[in-house]
Chain A
Amino acid sequence: MSVNLSKGQGISLQKSDGGTLTAVRMGLGWRSAPRRGLFGRRTQEIDLDASAVLFADKKPVDVVFFQHLISDDGSVRHTGDNVVGGAGQGGDDEAILVDLARVPVHIDQIVFTVNSFTGQSFAEVQDAFCRLVDETNGQELARYTLTGGGNYTAQIMSKVHRAGNGWAMTAIGEPSNGRTFQDVVPAMVPYL
């Protein structure tokens, strides 16, 4: 029962049985660029990158992206950079795992972004999606379709933030431009 989120829509990460989520995965998948003739090497690969920025009181304190795969506290882990994409069959090509119970107490928001490292806009990328999965049972909580997202090279996907004793997720879906998450951080500020 995954929700196709629209901009600004929020969902609470409470399970139906009342327990809160303990681990979520942000997955990103896209279809690799088609082979170009004989010289596959010259195919213009599409490299999308998933990043997570950890905020404390609206100030970025840590980040998890392809050059820093594990947050210093170990609670947020990136499974590794994928620079070409996959088959576009719905599997995650990059994933960021968040162990919500172990996130340091001062971190109150985690913002997920997608950037096109190789510069193609989302209009050119096929079958691109981003989703949030309950890591404990593999159930999809929310999904975004990026394809057809217009002439942008970055998107601020969603944020997971503290709410009460647990965590909640808010969809942001704000398009932006930039090669890596650094270019997008200023655009995040209004959503914190």
Chain B
Amino acid sequence: MTAELVRGQNHPLDRTRVEIRVAAGGPVIAGVTLGDEQGRLSGAEAVAHPGAPRRTGIEVPRQAAAEHRIAVDLDALPEAVHRVSVLLALPTGIGGLTRFGAAAAPSVAVTGLDGTGIAGYTVTGLGAETAVVAVELYRRQGAWKVRAVGQGYADGLAAMLHDQGLPQAAELAAEIEEAVSQGHARAVPAPAPVAASRSEQSGAGTPGAAATGRPAPADTPVADGQAATSAAPAASSNAAPANGGPIDYRHPKRRATPKPAPAAPSGANAPSAAADGTPAPVAGDASGWSMEERLYNQVWGMFEDLARSVAAYRSASDFAESRLEQELDKALSDPRNRLGTAADVARATARDKHASLITQARAALDRDLAQLTAEADVVEPALPPALARWDNPVWQGYHVPQERPMALRLGDLHLPEVLDLRIPMLVRLPLERGLWIDSGPGSYVASGDPEREYGRRELGSALTDGPPDEAELGRLAMETAVAIAARLLAVHPAGDFAVQVIDPGGTAAPALAPLLETGALREVPPPGAQGVTTVLEALTRRVDLVQMAVRNRAADSLPPDVDTAEQLLIVHDFPHGFDDRALTQLRYLADEGPSVGVHLMMVADRAQCQEYGPVLDPLWRALLRITPVPDAHLADPWVGHAWTYEPPLVPKGSQVVRQVLGRLAEARG
């Protein structure tokens, strides 16, 4: 099993005859330097390069290519050699790349001779560099280990060799360039012994090989290139992971791993980040079996940390306030202070103490927030579609998933102290509770609760003063419902999730357009009470049958007309068009549905439902209330702050939902 290394990480080698496979987004020169304990080179003969490809125990390719295999026999190396550095450099003068940042990040894999992976490393975060030390194999107490280095040099080979203490660095660099351009000019299909002898044992896919992304045949050294292309047809390109052609054997969930790396500090400032004690945050830095689970846990960890950091800040500032008040009172009530300036002094001291405590508390909060913001900056781009915002590029590259995700993003949460740090609100799938999207203005009327006020103040301009406009709220509520429904549809495999709508008034049609046009919703919901009854009857029957089948373990004896896909029922305009019988059925669905895959989403005005009296209270409590406009009404489970919830609305003018649903429709056939 291959260990994916991150910069600076090391990994023991369990054998001494290894092969180093290099894959880059364009032709690169591969070389090896043999350094002593301090990493210094004894002379030009300590470098294996295309001009001098064979050194004792080492053999490197003669040409620049997008893929390389370097054979290393660590046992054969001289005793004095303690470090074997694998370097990559961009050739000049034969076209191709001019900087590593212009193509997919090069990746290096250390494998056994039979192709079994030992360690892999993708050299991310490169920009203007033209040469890079990718990995080094080093001797530590008699055993060999591999370390991911990733040290880039913008000034190319000469600078790199000079850095390793080679006096004739510039001459050797020129010699290497010369050898490469000669090799390129010859373009002879040289019978490279390395590739030929190994073609039979190179079945395993090279991770991240750029077989598909090669610029032109002339740039590829034929010997190595052909061997690699034919031997590793399954290798996929880092640059185009989703181009459909080659099969990607890497774990699908691990693909997000290299993504956040560009945000990580590059070689130059990495040590400084490590030095101040707070390591740069990494996406997926939590426990879990898959990248998805790790990200999910990480988001919840950030949620808890933010809740607690803000709790610390609030309790400190509350304490400062109450102490200030007490001290001012005391100064006022002390009869000795009636004359002279003692009272002023006491008051000033109290205010100073207050101010300094508040400053300290804010500093502590800012420190925590900086860390969490940095974490959010790497986590947010790494999220898979189900957990990502609609404006995340991952939705542009959307393809219909093969398996259902573990969680769904229902919106964003934030606190008034930190308006720009948004925590994704993730719920596990399948949904355990239905949703109630509150479309009524009644609940937004200022309630005198200061934390609710925070939520009100940052609403969009149209909604700032007074209760929001009722029609506008109703429209936004239905838009929210459709956005969530579309998201649920998109993150499930084609045909595993279906949406039904009850809309007796027929007023939801504009919002439902994306669902109708793409066939996600088969027909316009039938109007009137008749529509209500038909849909509810069908779903109740489904719940009954599936429950019976599950209880008796007879899932295959369900009648053929029962749709086994999970169902989301959107009820618009509730309670319009509902009679007592329909109401009972609805409550039944809310209670029994989730366990057999029928989920309820009410789009209704809570105030209007009050006329039904307490009958609806259990329904209301069974559902999770969310709002179509930001509103502070959700509490976290740790300290109970009121968090402002923001619905997952599509950015204005964006066609992402239509695109995504269109692709889903294609997949459904």
Contacts and interface: CB of A to CB of B under 8 A. Distances in A.
Interface string A93-106: 00000000011111
Contact of A74 (B308, B361, B364): B308
B312 A61 contact: no
Q: Which of B311, B312, B316, B323 has the most CB of A within 10 A?
A: B312
Question: Could you say which interface size class chain B belongs to?
Answer: 10 to 19
A192 to B, nearest CB: 15
Contacts of B319: 56-57, 61, 106
A104 B638 contact: no
B608 interface: no
Interface in A60-99: 61-62, 70, 72-75
A57 B305 contact: no
Interface in B303-320: 304-305, 308-309, 311-313, 315-316, 319-320
Contact of B315 (A57, A102, A106): A106
B638 A73 contact: no
A36 to B, nearest CB: 41
Contacts of B305: 74
Contacts of B308: 70, 72-75
Contact of A105 (B311, B361, B639): B361
Interface string B19-41: 00000000000000000000000
A156 to B, nearest CB: 23
Given A57-B323, A72-B308, A105 B360 contact: yes
B357 A105 contact: yes
Interface in B583-609: none
Interface string B327-351: 0000000000000000000000000
Interface in B490-548: none
A103 B638 CA distance: 17
Nearest to B362: A105
Given A61-B315, A62-B315, A72-B308, A106 B320 contact: yes
B304 A104 contact: no
Contacts of A74: 304-305, 308-309, 311-312, 638
Interface string B41-54: 00000000000000
Contacts of A104: 312-313, 315-316, 361, 364
Given A57-B323, A72-B311, A74-B311, A106 B304 contact: no
Given A70-B638, A104-B364, A106-B320, A75 B312 contact: yes
A43 B215 CA distance: 79
A105 B365 CA distance: 10
Contacts of A106: 315-316, 319-320, 357, 361
A74 B364 CA distance: 13
Question: Could you say which interface size class chain A belongs to?
Answer: 10 to 19
A102 B639 CA distance: 16
Contacts of B323: 57
Given A104-B312, A104-B315, A104-B316, A72 B639 contact: yes
A73 B639 CA distance: 8
Q: Which of B313, B315, B316 has the most CB of A within 10 A?
A: B315
B309 A73 contact: yes
A138 B462 CA distance: 58
Contacts of B639: 72
Interface in B355-369: 357, 360-361, 364, 368
A115 to B, nearest CB: 25
Q: Which of A61, A72, A105 has the most CB of B within 10 A?
A: A105
B27 to A, nearest CB: 48
Contacts of A62: 315
A103 B309 CA distance: 10
Contacts of A105: 316, 357, 360-361, 364
Contacts of B311: 72-74
Contacts of A73: 308-309, 311-312, 315
Q: Which of B311, B320, B357, B360 has the most CB of A within 10 A?
A: B311
Interface string A101-118: 011111000000000000
Nearest to B308: A74
Contact of A72 (B315, B360, B361, B364): B315
Interface in A1-58: 56-57
A168 B453 CA distance: 42
Nearest to B315: A104
A75 B367 CA distance: 14
A113 B109 CA distance: 55
Nearest to B305: A74
A102 B305 CA distance: 11
Given A57-B323, A61-B319, A74-B305, A102 B312 contact: yes
Nearest to B358: A105
Interface string B364-406: 1000100000000000000000000000000000000000000
A75 B312 CA distance: 9
Nearest to A75: B312
A126 to B, nearest CB: 37
A30 B639 CA distance: 32
Contacts of B313: 104
A104 B308 CA distance: 10
B562 to A, nearest CB: 46
B332 to A, nearest CB: 19
A61 B323 CA distance: 13
A71 to B, nearest CB: 8
Nearest to A73: B312
A11 to B, nearest CB: 24
A94 B361 CA distance: 31
Contacts of B638: 70, 72, 74
Interface in B275-320: 304-305, 308-309, 311-313, 315-316, 319-320
A62 B320 CA distance: 15
A103 B319 CA distance: 14
Nearest to A62: B315
A72 B364 CA distance: 15
Contacts of B364: 102, 104-105
A106 B323 CA distance: 11
Contacts of A103: 312
A106 B317 CA distance: 8
A56 B304 CA distance: 23
A62 B318 CA distance: 13
Contacts of B360: 105
A69 to B, nearest CB: 11
Interface in A114-148: none
Nearest to B363: A105
A64 to B, nearest CB: 13
A82 to B, nearest CB: 23
Nearest to A105: B360
Nearest to B313: A104
B465 to A, nearest CB: 34
A73 B316 CA distance: 10
Interface string B145-189: 000000000000000000000000000000000000000000000
A109 B320 CA distance: 16
A13 B323 CA distance: 28
Contacts of A75: 308, 312
A139 B159 CA distance: 46
A50 to B, nearest CB: 21
Sorted nearest first, the 3 A-B pairs with minimum C-beta distance are: A74-B308, A73-B312, A104-B312
10 contacts: A62-B315, A70-B638, A72-B315, A73-B309, A75-B312, A104-B316, A104-B361, A106-B315, A106-B316, A106-B320
Given A73-B308, A105-B360, A106-B319, 18 more contacts: A56-B319, A70-B638, A72-B312, A72-B639, A74-B304, A74-B305, A74-B308, A74-B309, A74-B312, A102-B309, A102-B364, A103-B312, A104-B315, A104-B364, A105-B316, A105-B357, A106-B315, A106-B320
